[in-house]
């Protein structure tokens, strides 16, 4: 008999688990049960939609294994784990997240903040249950995906109008006469603020820094809730996005001129081979004898585990993410001088291989990106200007490259995925006759050697 994942997750939230959860979120057990009845099929629907996108099985596999390590309750109830699961659900639901939370809150008399916590807990419970099933049946990523896909009928049935899972969402939650947004078309639309991008053989969601205000709760002119339509549209949207993204990755997305509507996923249209500074993005600080890079407008990248980074559009992080995310960009196996990306915020003490404290944040960001692309291998290059003794410069560049690599290893990147090499004063990117040029040439760079 086919296992019913929906029932298994719902069965998990009984007795002591519900009591414990109600204490955590500060709600009545009755309210928690009602909210869980709405949230569980919605979370399952979101995961099914995510798994059906290109690279979905691998993404699902990674998420389930991480969930297996962190556990469910009580191990889940840490600020870090809850935040990561909350970020994941925000990414999966996109612009519908705010409206979804509001509708569940109004229908169940549970605070919106509690609904958000319950979404995170259910997401963890689903992933943990999938991990257990995969381990029990010795499934690979495709096998786990097929199991999840087999649950579609039960999940859709639970979300249909008139079903027990949707019944609590039929009472009016806002005054009659509130504006009713038009129903979304099932046809693929132009990408809005935020998009899915390929990650580590799978895909991840990148959202803009400034989130749009949550839409008003939806009611009909008679005051009857249209929440069942919203739930149905979540499913339709997931399917529509799948077909849209399948075609989308065959073309490159142009960056919009309106920064408030710009895609947070890295642009793949104009990945410069040279450093951003060569296009005038930055300035030389004579007091520090350092080139200060301008990272550009802020965007948010969301990693495979749901964590986020707020970086500049011209930053090292965005350029690395772009190269790894775009299947059209490949490693050049012949010309190994191509593909280098200069770190724009990694500095060392003068004439030493000691990283400054502020440099470690960018290395942490890069480590997080590499964890989202588990197949990627990279090389760290160290460079100096041409002043002084060339042998000493070569030694210093080697030590700095190794220091950056060691930092990444300490941040959880397997040493087998990394290599480091010092090049001294070779391969300069600017004229060594000026202080600005010399500052630009003193750098650490990264190159993807395998995707």
Tally of CB atoms within 10 A around 259: 14
Token pair for 131: 């991990």
**Segment 166-204, tens digit of pLDDT:** 443 333 333 323 332 322 222 233 333 344 444 443 334
User: Contact at 8 Å (CB) between 299 and 209?
Assistant: yes
Superfamily of domain 262-450: OmpA-like domain (3.30.1330.60)
**Segment 215-227, tens digit of pLDDT:** 334 333 334 333 3
Token pair for 76: 């889940």
Task: Give me the pLDDT at residue 79, please.
Answer: 66
* pLDDT over 60 at 50, yes or no: yes
**Segment 265-282, tens digit of pLDDT:** 333 333 333 333 343 478
User: Contact at 8 Å (CB) between 34 and 168?
Assistant: yes
Averaged pLDDT for residues 238-246:
37
**Segment 335-363, tens digit of pLDDT:** 888 999 999 999 999 889 999 988 999 99
| Domain positions in the chain | 5-201+223-248, 262-450
Predicted TM-score (pTM) of the model is: 0.45
User: Contact at 8 Å (CB) between 217 and 179?
Assistant: no
Task: Give me the pLDDT at residue 323, please.
Answer: 92
* pLDDT over 60 at 314, yes or no: yes
Report the candidate in 156, 176, 177, 158 with the shortest Cα–Cα distance to residue 166.
158
**Segment 405-435, tens digit of pLDDT:** 999 999 999 999 999 999 999 999 999 999 9
């Amino acid at each position: 008999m086919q296992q019913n994942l929906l029932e298994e997750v719902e069965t998990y939230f009984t007795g002591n688990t519900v009591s414990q959860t109600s204490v955590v979120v500060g709600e009545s057990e009755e309210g928690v049960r009602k909210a869980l009845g709405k949230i569980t099929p919605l979370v399952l629907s979101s995961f099914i939609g995510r798994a059906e996108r290109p690279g979905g099985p691998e993404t699902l596999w990674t998420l389930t294994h991480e969930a297996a390590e962190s556990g469910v309750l009580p191990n889940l109830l840490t600020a870090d784990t809850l935040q990561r699961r909350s970020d994941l659900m925000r990414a999966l639901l996109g612009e519908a997240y705010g409206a979804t939370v509001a509708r569940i809150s109004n229908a169940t008399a549970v605070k919106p903040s509690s609904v958000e916590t319950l979404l995170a807990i259910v997401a963890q419970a689903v992933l943990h249950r999938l991990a257990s099933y995969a381990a029990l049946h010795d499934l690979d990523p495709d096998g786990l995906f097929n199991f999840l896909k087999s649950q579609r009928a039960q999940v859709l049935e639970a979300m249909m109008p008139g079903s027990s899972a949707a019944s609590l969402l039929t009472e009016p939650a806002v005054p009659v006469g509130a504006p009713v947004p038009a129903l979304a078309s099932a046809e693929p639309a132009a990408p809005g603020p935020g998009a899915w991008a390929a990650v580590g053989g799978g895909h991840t969601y990148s959202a803009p820094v400034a989130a749009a205000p949550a839409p008003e709760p939806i009611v009909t002119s008679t005051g009857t809730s249209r929440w069942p339509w919203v739930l149905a549209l979540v499913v339709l949207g997931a399917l529509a996005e799948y077909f849209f993204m399948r075609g989308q990755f065959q073309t490159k997305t142009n960056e919009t001129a309106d920064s408030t509507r710009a895609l947070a996923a890295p642009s793949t249209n104009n990945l410069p081979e040279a450093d951003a500074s060569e296009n005038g993005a930055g300035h030389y600080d004579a007091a520090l004898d350092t080139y200060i890079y301008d990272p550009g407008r802020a965007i948010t990248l969301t990693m495979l585990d749901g964590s986020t980074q707020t970086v500049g559009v011209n930053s090292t992080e965005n350029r690395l993410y772009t190269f790894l995310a775009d299947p059209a960009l490949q490693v050049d196996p012949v010309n190994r001088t191509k593909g280098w990306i200069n770190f724009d915020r990694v500095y060392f003490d003068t004439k030493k291989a000691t990283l400054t404290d502020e440099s470690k944040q960018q290395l942490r960001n890069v480590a997080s990106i590499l964890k989202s692309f588990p197949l990627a291998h990279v090389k760290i290059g160290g460079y100096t200007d041409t002043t002084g003794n060339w042998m000493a410069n070569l030694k210093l560049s080697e030590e700095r490259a190794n220091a950056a690599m060691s930092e990444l290893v300490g941040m959880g990147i397997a040493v087998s995925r990394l290599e480091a090499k010092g090049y001294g004063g070779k391969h300069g990117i600017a004229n060594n006759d000026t202080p600005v040029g010399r500052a630009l040439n003193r750098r650490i760079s990264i190159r993807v050697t395998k995707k």
